[in-house]
Amino acid sequence: MDYQVVLRVNNLSVSYKYTEVIENIDLEIEKGKIYSIIGPNGSGKTTLIRALSRNLKPKTGQVLLDGVNIFKMNSKQTARKMAVLGQNNHTLSDVTVKNLVQYGRYAHKEWWKGSDREDIRIVDWALRKTGLENLQNRKINTLSGGEKQRAWLAMSIAQKPQILLLDEPTTYLDISHQLEIMELISRLNKEEGITIVMVLHDINHAARYSDELIVVKDKKIYKRGDPWVILENNVLREVFGVETEIRLDKETSKPVFYARKVV
Amino acid sequence: MENEVSFKDSKKYKIFIIVCIAVLLIIGFILGNAKGSMEVSVQRIFEVLLNDDGSSERLVIWNIRLPRMILAALVGINLALAGAILQGVMNNPLADPSIIGISSGAGLFGIFLLVVLPQYQAFVPIAAFFGAMLAAAIIYVLAWKGGIQPIRVILAGVAVSALFGAGISGTLVFYSDRVHGALTFMNGSLSSRSWPEVQTILPYTVIGLILVMVFSQKLNILILGDDVARSLGLNVEATRLGFTALAALLAASAVSAVGLLGFVGLIVPHSIRLLIGNDYKLMFPASALLGAVLVMFSDTFARTILSPTEIPVGIVMAVLGAPFFLYLLRR
């Protein structure tokens, strides 16, 4: 075996009240890769990522992080290995960017200790990685959408996680900020080796930046694989209900598509 | 906007504000001891405090004014901390023990024990604590819909408050022969309170102050939102339960000592937020100080303005508090 599984999902089902939202999902996430979960609205993407991140208790099945059931680990142990960023983060808090990033170190500290040299070094590193050095004393609620998202990402990477789970990291952002965030995520993966699992709405972004796509449809994983395997006329027709035109993007040699019409 | 730390955000400014409030506390303390039907000079206050010369000043200050001032400060601290905590754990800026029914829960259980089983008077704070926890539990159950919903907190809180309030009124009517000073209980009053009430509340204030200072960082993280806090490694459920219990304990002990005193838990944390921001590490000590200042001044005012008649401090609090709150909203 020349690859390593960071996150393994066995027979996972989640239900709200009495309706199943995802059913019997099995999944392996390999170390160091980027995965994007795509699928139509209401297919269970967000539920899946929330179950992977301990935010939802599954009805059956397990999520194993480095071989250990995440519901058997304590909160801090999980947080040292896995960081999660949800869809809309708004807060009453008026913390500065730097303070927010310092909170990322929470799981690594005992409650009676302040920041040690290691924490300071990592916070500086996270601010630098996300290009926030010049905004570090600003309050989070004064930042623009893209800056805010970078600040939340900086907080997450200050946890020094092996794996980062993101739920639609680019929603509410305009196109240039979307690209900026996607590039940042890609860099974090290439340069720091952080495994990324994210829900994405934009299929072209998913194809361009991911090693593997996971298509969720009707509570189940419909198909998973290389972007070229997933961006196929029949897959897109069956899952999203659209006729598509698929091309090669010469620069990235990844597929891009546009939707012609609804089937 | 600049990246530089503005003066208002600097630590120096925040410490300066806290020192100012502490100075106000000292002024309030001296004023409270000096004013009243018998005026005592500042110098005399310290003289009689330091040695028992058997004078009438000594008697008035040592037996009446001093314990009353201390009690006012302790009640102010407890209610301000309870409000600051509840606003964080319930994700709602309007959460205040008296508005969302925590105080009424404490009041109902406390007063019920007092009139039905008067021999167990010593257990009033404990009964009040269970009442406060019950109120908090009902609010959570009603306000929970895949996470705590700020608007539902207030709606549920108002309902809980009305329900327990009705219970209190009912108890007071049924046992009207046994309840003395029902009116002062409903409005919150420090009238004729002395050292026994100080003893009742002091341990809770001390425990409360220590715990909020030790665990302030957890609340800072909780207010980022449940999902974010969980991702950062905070045990969200345990933190929320622990802080709620602490707020209930603080509010219940205040209610046991002086009755239903409103607005403190609302005005104080808000003013502090406007002055020095949301960081609970500084907010807790600053709120505690300002809570003490507010109740001390209000009580001195309530005691002296229509002298020799005393008005319940709760009425002063409402008269001061409501317009002040509106002013805060307008800013």
Quick one: pLDDT at residue A182?
Answer: 95
In a domain, B1, yes or no: no
Question: Which residues in chain B touch residue A76, judged by CB atoms under 8 angstroms apart?
Answer: 233
Nearest CA-CA partner of A92 in B173, B184, B277: B277
DSSP codes, B143-206: HBSSSB-HHHHHHHHHHHHHHHHHHHHHHHHHTTTT-SSHHHHHH---TT--HHHHHHHHHHHH
Which contacts (CB < 8 Å, 24+ apart) does range B31-36 have? B31/B297, B31/B300, B32/B65, B32/B68, B32/B69, B32/B72, B32/B296, B32/B297, B32/B299, B32/B300, B33/B61, B33/B65, B33/B66, B33/B69, B35/B300, B35/B303, B35/B304, B36/B60, B36/B65, B36/B303, B36/B304, B36/B307
Contact B3 A134 (CB under 8 A): yes
Quick one: pLDDT band at residue B272, thresholds 50, 70, 90? very high
Measured between CB atoms, does A109 come within 8 Å of chain B?
no
Q: Which amino acid is at A40?
A: P
Question: B277 CA to chain A: closest CA distance, Å?
Answer: 7
Tell me the average pLDDT across B268-294. Answer: 92
- The percent of residues above 90 in pLDDT, for chain B, comes to 41
Contact B232 A55 (CB under 8 A): no
Question: Which residues in chain A touch residue B215, judged by CB atoms under 8 angstroms apart?
Answer: 111
Per-chain mean pLDDT for chain A: 89
Q: Is-contact B224 A103, C-beta < 8 A?
A: yes
Contact B279 A95 (CB under 8 A): yes
Please tell me the distance from the alpha carbon of residue B283 to that of residue B289, in angstroms, as a whole number. 10
Q: Pick the more confident residue, A114 or B53.
A: B53
Out of B215, B233, B279, name the one closest to residue A76 (CB): B233
Residue A84, strand partner residues? A165
Question: A113 CA to chain B: closest CA distance, Å?
Answer: 11
- pLDDT, one tens digit per residue, over B114-166 is 888 878 878 888 899 999 999 999 988 888 877 777 778 888 888 999 999 99
In a domain, B135, yes or no: yes
Domain spans of chain A, in order of start: 5-89+160-262
Nearest CA-CA partner of B248 in B83, B112, B123: B83
Measured between CB atoms, does A95 come within 8 Å of chain B?
yes
Phi, psi of B208 (to 5 degrees): -60, -45
Q: Give Cα A50 distance to the centre of its chain.
A: 10
In a domain, B2, yes or no: no
Quick one: pLDDT band at residue A258, thresholds 50, 70, 90? confident
Contact B93 A92 (CB under 8 A): yes
- Any idea of the CA torsion for B180, B135, B327, B280, to the nearest 10 degrees? 120
Indicate if the pLDDT at residue B328 is higher than 90. Answer: no
Tokens 């960071």 sit on residue:
A6
Contact A55 B227 (CB under 8 A): yes
Quick one: pLDDT at residue B329?
Answer: 65
Domain span at B196:
7-330
Out of B225, B227, B232, name the one closest to residue A106 (CB): B232
Measured between CB atoms, does A85 come within 8 Å of chain B?
yes
Tell me the average pLDDT across B197-212. Answer: 93
Per-chain mean pLDDT for chain B: 87
Query: Quick one: A224 exposed, middle or buried, by C-beta within 10 A (0-12, 13-18, 19+)?
Result: middle
Please name the helix (run of DSSP H) or strand (run of DSSP E) that holds residue B86, with its range, or none: helix B66-89
Q: Is-contact B255 B109, C-beta < 8 A?
A: no
Quick one: pLDDT band at residue B295, thresholds 50, 70, 90? very high
Tell me the average pLDDT across A185-189. Answer: 94
DSSP state, residue B5: P
Selected for mutation to probe chain B from A46, A54, A84, A103 (highest B CB count within 10 Å) is A103
Q: Please, which residues have CB within 8 angstroms of residue B172's CB and are 6 or more apart in sequence?
A: B111, B179, B182, B185, B186
In a domain, B100, yes or no: yes
Phi, psi of B190 (to 5 degrees): -105, 5
Quick one: pLDDT at residue B153?
Answer: 83
Indicate if the pLDDT at residue B287 is higher than 60. Answer: yes
Question: Which residues in chain B touch residue A79, judged by CB atoms under 8 angstroms apart?
Answer: 231-233
Phi, psi of A167 (to 5 degrees): -105, 105
Residue A85, strand partner residues? A166
Say whether pTM exceeds 0.95. Answer: no
Indicate if the pLDDT at residue A41 is higher than 60. Answer: yes
Contact B225 A89 (CB under 8 A): yes
Out of B220, B224, B233, name the one closest to residue A79 (CB): B233
Measured between CB atoms, does B26 come within 8 Å of chain A?
no
In a domain, B95, yes or no: yes
The CATH H-level (homologous superfamily) assignment of domain A5-89+160-262 is P-loop containing nucleotide triphosphate hydrolases (3.40.50.300)
In a domain, B251, yes or no: yes
Question: Which residues in chain B touch residue A83, judged by CB atoms under 8 angstroms apart?
Answer: 231
Nearest CA-CA partner of B254 in B203, B309, B179: B203
DSSP state, residue A260: E
Contact A138 B217 (CB under 8 A): no
Quick one: pLDDT at residue A1?
Answer: 46
Nearest CA-CA partner of B258 in B214, B304, B299: B299
Measured between CB atoms, does A54 come within 8 Å of chain B?
yes
Indicate if the pLDDT at residue B2 is higher than 60. Answer: no
Which contacts (CB < 8 Å, 24+ apart) does range B143-146 have? B143/B90
- pLDDT, one tens digit per residue, over A91-131 is 767 889 999 999 999 998 876 666 788 899 999 999 999 99
Q: Which amino acid is at A142?
A: T
Please tell me the distance from the alpha carbon of residue A114 to that of residue B263, in angstroms, as a whole number. 35
Strands A195-199 and A34-38: parallel
Measured between CA atoms, the residue of chain B closest to residue A50 is B227
Q: Is-contact A98 A136, C-beta < 8 A?
A: yes
Q: Please tell me the total count of domains within chain B.
A: 1
Angstrom distances, CA of residue B127 to CA of A54, B195, B302: 37, 21, 29
Quick one: pLDDT band at residue B260, thresholds 50, 70, 90? confident
Measured between CB atoms, does A41 come within 8 Å of chain B?
no
Selected for mutation to probe chain B from A14, A52, A106 (highest B CB count within 10 Å) is A106
Question: Which residues in chain A touch residue B283, judged by CB atoms under 8 angstroms apart?
Answer: none
Q: What is the ipTM of this complex?
A: 0.88
In a domain, B144, yes or no: yes
DSSP codes, A24-55: EEEEEEETT-EEEEE--TTSSHHHHHHHHTTS
Phi, psi of B191 (to 5 degrees): -60, 130
Quick one: pLDDT band at residue A160, thresholds 50, 70, 90? very high
Out of B5, B228, B234, name the one closest to residue A89 (CB): B228
Question: A129 CA to chain B: closest CA distance, Å?
Answer: 18
Measured between CB atoms, does B52 come within 8 Å of chain A?
no
Please tell me the distance from the alpha carbon of residue A157 to that of residue A153, in angstroms, as a whole number. 6
Query: Quick one: A160 exposed, middle or buried, by C-beta within 10 A (0-12, 13-18, 19+)?
Result: buried
Please tell me the distance from the alpha carbon of residue B80 to that of residue B22, in angstroms, as a whole number. 15
Contact A86 B225 (CB under 8 A): yes
